Amino acid sequence: MVDTNRRNLLKLAGAGIGATALAGCLGNGSDEYPPSSLEFINAYSEGGGVDTNFRQFQEYFEEYLGTNLSPQYRDGAGTRTAATTVVQDDEVLRIGGTLSPATPAAIAVDEVEGTEPQFTLDDLQPLGTLSGEAALIRVREDEDRFTTIQELVDYSAENEVTVGASGPTNRNVLSIIQLMEATAADFTIVPYGGGGPTQTALLQGEIDVAARSVYNSASIANDSHCLCIYSEENPEPELTNDAPPINDELGTDINYAPSNGTQFYYVSAAAAEAHPDRYELVQQAFEDAHGDEDYRGDLEAIGEVNKLIWNSPDETDDILQSAYETYRDFAPLFDQYVQS
């Protein structure tokens, strides 16, 4: 059942939003659920890591749901665009939005800057987590100015280096800020509208470095070189050139937890309150698909099964709250370091 204790905001907003949030575009006033197609809101770009994860998972999620999922891309504004679509747009069936800790980052940044957040964690009801992966730093395969993370740090102290990331206030940006705070590294951080554009920019030479993660950058593993990983151990040496942990290479004490990415799926909390039976159907389908042996076999065949991490909706809530608190601490640094 949905945990109602933490959702104080819904006392004011639930009646107005919840009546249609999970009803979506059923058409002709039909109460049939699920409908023939559900819109899935993706907060990142088409072809990026989040989209790839969804495409791998899609057919199994659809099988357990008993309907088709239609992905809609609402990238931009540090995931605010997608989240507000899920929370506020009465014209879509809000069962989507694969958002990582960039979501609590957006809330934290708005609060620190004195801007009223467009949504809060109370507006989101998680289905659970899909995957997790450590941050890393990639350069082009033919890069010869710096071939180790130490060489990159040293080079950047005397020369201009641009680092691309999949948004202005997410965990990949945070990983670069942590590096600059811990060393003499000096980078210009350029945010893009998702992982796909970031990786294209790297391969085309628009940026020197890409701040990515283990699995969401797997598509460019053969065209790039990984300098380091933000993890105590490297879980996927074949995908990452057996890259060393950054602290081991630099002698730093960077906290890996804030940049570790946990992708989670969610619906509108108001919708889950208004239609708990529908929420439970979708949540159970998500959980069942996550544990499907054929799905895991598909990922094992391409060396990505280790990215799957399951957390219940309540456990996911705890992860989001912890991420939010972390980003509250780091939020002032985003304005300092990230290019507008």
Domains and CATH numbers, the chain: 10-133+260-337 (3.40.190.150), 135-259 (3.40.190.10)
Would you state the pLDDT for residue 291? 98
Assess whether pLDDT exceeds 70 at residue 45. Answer: yes
Would you state the pLDDT for residue 140? 98
Assess whether pLDDT exceeds 60 at residue 246. Answer: yes
Would you state the pLDDT for residue 36? 86
Give alpha helix (H) positions in 113-222. 149-156, 171-182, 195-203
Cβ neighbours around 221 below 10 Å, total: 19
pLDDT interval class at 95 (50, 70, 90): low
d(CA 266, CA 86): 9
Enumerate residues 6+ apart whose C-beta is below 8 A from 220: 138, 199, 202, 203
Give the mean model confidence (pLDDT) for residues 264-277. 87
Contact between 13 and 124 under an 8 Å Cβ cutoff? The reply is no
Cβ neighbours around 205 below 10 Å, total: 8
Give the mean model confidence (pLDDT) for residues 54-73. 93
Q: What helix, strand, coil percent values describe the chain, rounded to 5? A: 45, 20, 35
Q: What is the pLDDT of residues 181-225, one digit of tens each?
A: 999 999 999 999 888 899 999 999 999 999 999 988 999 999 999
pLDDT interval class at 31 (50, 70, 90): low
Give the mean model confidence (pLDDT) for residues 123-146. 94
Enumerate residues 6+ apart whose C-beta is below 8 A from 64: 284, 285, 286, 288, 289, 292
Would you state the pLDDT for residue 16? 17
Contact between 72 and 96 under an 8 Å Cβ cutoff? The reply is yes
The pTM of the full predicted model, rounded to 2 decimals, is 0.75
Helices (H) and strands (E) in the chain, counts: 12, 10
- What size, in residues, is the chain? 340
The strand pairing partners of 164, in sequence order, are 190, 210
Would you state the pLDDT for residue 21? 23
Would you state the pLDDT for residue 250? 98
Contact between 235 and 306 under an 8 Å Cβ cutoff? The reply is yes
d(CA 27, CA 318): 36
Q: What is the pLDDT of residues 96-118, one digit of tens each?
A: 445 444 567 788 888 888 888 88
Say which DSSP state 133 is in.
E
Assess whether pLDDT exceeds 70 at residue 22. Answer: no
